Amino acid sequence: MAYLGEAAALATAIDWAGVSLLFTAAARRSNALAVNLARISLALPLLTLLVLVAAPAGWTSVITGRRLLLLAVSGWVGLTLGDWALFSALVLIGPRLTTLMLALSPPIAALLAVPLLGEHLGGQGLLGMAITLAGIAWVVLDRRRSPVPRGHRILGLTLAVVGAVGQGTGLVLSKLGMDGAVPPLPATLVRMTAAAMGVWLVVGLSGRLGDARMILRDRVAARATVGATLLGPVMGVWLSLVAVAHTEAGVAATLMAPVPVFVLPLVAVFNKERIRGRAILGALVAVAGVVVLVLR
């Protein structure tokens, strides 16, 4: 199907915009670790059921040791570490700034795709990255008073960058792991299984198993987590792998980048957040840079 990868990538961006608000609501009523644990534990059986029902027959025969390892590492990097960092950033600085920092993910994916996937970058790709960074800097370096304390803002921005690195790296590693042979849905299940193992290991070693019960005690957090899980780890991650399976990793990452633009009207309506012209302009510039990157 023509433009299947591009359509899936854009759908992923719209999906993640809504997910960011739901996860923010859940994490602020519990904590980032509890939300990450709950959503992965819920997503895993749902994905398993989807694979049993919808995955192509014989897909297990193409899962070699190398492909399995690469998909597992992509799950640990992107979903265990990266998503924990993003959820923590959502709590500290909110969905608008966090998703804006995610615009760093496409340049990171494009840079990694050059040595790892043999994809070409070129001068226009570098220009696109520069424009994206300029748009982000325009918003982040705004000196006007912010309702977020300075310490929280710095930590939140740092965690958002870690999340962007995790997502960009995980995307490229997942394309390497699929290797043109593993279907996106089973690949999503492998990534999610590895990520669940990683999250439970972290929770167990840190002695914070009690955090898992925080979601259950709060109905609002529980409902937000369930909704975000259905849209995010299940639908969103699957769509993202459909995207990278049917187009270049840099193209897929680029079309997933408009999340900060889609988030703006959502936070204005649901969070009653006042959106300044600088925030809108910066988001548009960042996304424009990503477009320049994809059209190279």
| Rounded mean pLDDT, 201-216 | 76
pLDDT above 90 for 74: yes
Confidence at residue 173, expressed as pLDDT on a 0 to 100 scale: 95
Confidence at residue 255, expressed as pLDDT on a 0 to 100 scale: 77
Closest listed residue to residue 231, CA positions, set 20, 28, 50: 20
Range of the domain at 83: 4-294
Residues 225, 40 contacting (CB under 8 angstroms): no
Residue type, 93: I
pTM recorded for the entire structure = 0.83
Confidence at residue 107, expressed as pLDDT on a 0 to 100 scale: 85
Closest listed residue to residue 15, CA positions, set 196, 233, 265: 233
Binned at pLDDT 50, 70 and 90, residue 145 comes out as low
The domain tally of the chain equals 1
pLDDT above 90 for 248: no
pLDDT above 90 for 164: yes
Which residues 6+ apart lie within 8 Å of 293 measured at CB? 106, 107, 110, 124, 125, 128, 129, 132, 250, 254
pLDDT above 90 for 148: no
| Rounded mean pLDDT, 212-219 | 76
| Rounded mean pLDDT, 127-154 | 82
CA distances in angstroms from 120 to 102, 250, 288, 294, listed in the order given? 22, 10, 20, 11
Closest listed residue to residue 296, CA positions, set 138, 166, 128, 174: 128
